[in-house]
């Protein structure tokens, strides 16, 4: 399971970097919320439940608490925080 997560994270890394580079900060939150709202309507054609996690990922790029948690999670255990 951990190996599957690592492969998925590696495949999404270029997409996340591209979004972070090309989409302005305020627009990312708005697009993320639109994706989440569209995912709630996932039973309709074209829209899908896959939009919810994608919307959370896009919107979370600008949430400081999430970014801090993600950095800590990415560090090897026992290694002190670097700021």
Per-residue pLDDT of the chain (83 residues; tens, 9 = 90+): 678 878 877 888 888 788 788 888 788 888 888 989 988 888 877 778 888 888 888 887 777 767 777 777 777 666 655 55
**Cα(64)–Cα(46) distance, integer angstroms:** 32
- So what's the pLDDT on residue 79? 60
Closest CA to 56 of 16, 22, 13: 16
User: Whole-prediction pTM value?
Assistant: 0.57
**Cα(83)–Cα(14) distance, integer angstroms:** 24
- So what's the pLDDT on residue 39? 87
- So what's the pLDDT on residue 82? 56
**Cα distances (angstroms) measured from residue 29 to each of 24, 45, 68, 77, 80:** 9, 24, 17, 31, 31
Contact 59/29 with Cβ under 8 angstroms? yes
């Amino acid at each position: 399971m951990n190996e599957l997560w690592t492969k998925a994270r590696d495949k999404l890394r270029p997409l996340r970097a591209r979004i972070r580079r090309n989409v302005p900060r305020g627009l990312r939150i708005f697009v993320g919320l639109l994706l989440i709202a569209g995912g709630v309507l996932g039973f309709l054609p074209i829209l899908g439940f896959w939009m919810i996690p994608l919307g959370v990922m896009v919107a979370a790029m600008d949430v400081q608490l999430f970014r801090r948690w993600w950095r800590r999670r990415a560090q090897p255990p026992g290694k002190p925080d670097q700021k």
